[in-house]
Amino acid sequence: MKKIYPKIIIVLALFGFGLNLFSQTERKVATEKFSGSLKKISSNWFIKTDDDFFQLELASEDYLLDFMIVLENEKKIEIKGVLAEDVITVHALKLQEKYIPLRDKQGNPLWEENFELPTYSIETQKCVGCRLCPSICPTGAISMQNGVAVIDQEKCISCGICQNGDGDEYQGCPVKAISSQ
């Protein structure tokens, strides 16, 4: 029976080591903010920050154009992404003071082939008229009508910010009145 104890201690030590490794891995994939100017070299885009230079893994330029985002040399840019080995995998890009998500919360690109943009709508019975979503929508697609928020589908670019938040202070509709299909 006594011989079991050292084995238990070894198993617990390995478990603790594994947990420690796991938490370090979690820390490594944290999303960070970067700002700087764009630079195109060959077919790749880079960002020059105050003190560094990183390659960008972005959405295709066609996809970005759908969001009215045009990439140009020397253009100032603010992004959120995950840095690994001098390459930033871009998760969101700032446009007109708002972040446009380019990846879902798991980091999967939203521009996968056959990816269909969802349609966002607001349940008027649930909306409490707080006016948060109209102020955060990057295209001005949400307006207040009779005290509740309404989405103009012609202007909506399905960025999802109104429902999911902008990754900053706005955490999404506080009463979950916005949904997507």
By C-beta, is 55 or 124 nearer to ligand SF4? 124
- Range in contact with ligand SF4 (rule: CB under 6 A) among 16-24, 49-57, 105-113, 150-158: 150-158
- Range in contact with ligand SF4 (rule: CB under 6 A) among 22-30, 46-54, 84-92, 135-143: 135-143
Assess contact for 95 and 67: CB atoms under 8 A.
Answer: yes
Assess contact for 161 and 171: CB atoms under 8 A.
Answer: no
Q: Does 131 bind ligand SF4 (CB under 6 A)?
A: yes
Q: Does 83 bind ligand SF4 (CB under 6 A)?
A: no
H-type helices in the chain, by residue range? 4-28, 61-66, 132-136, 161-164
Q: Does 173 bind ligand SF4 (CB under 6 A)?
A: yes
Assess contact for 82 and 29: CB atoms under 8 A.
Answer: yes
Q: Does 137 bind ligand SF4 (CB under 6 A)?
A: yes
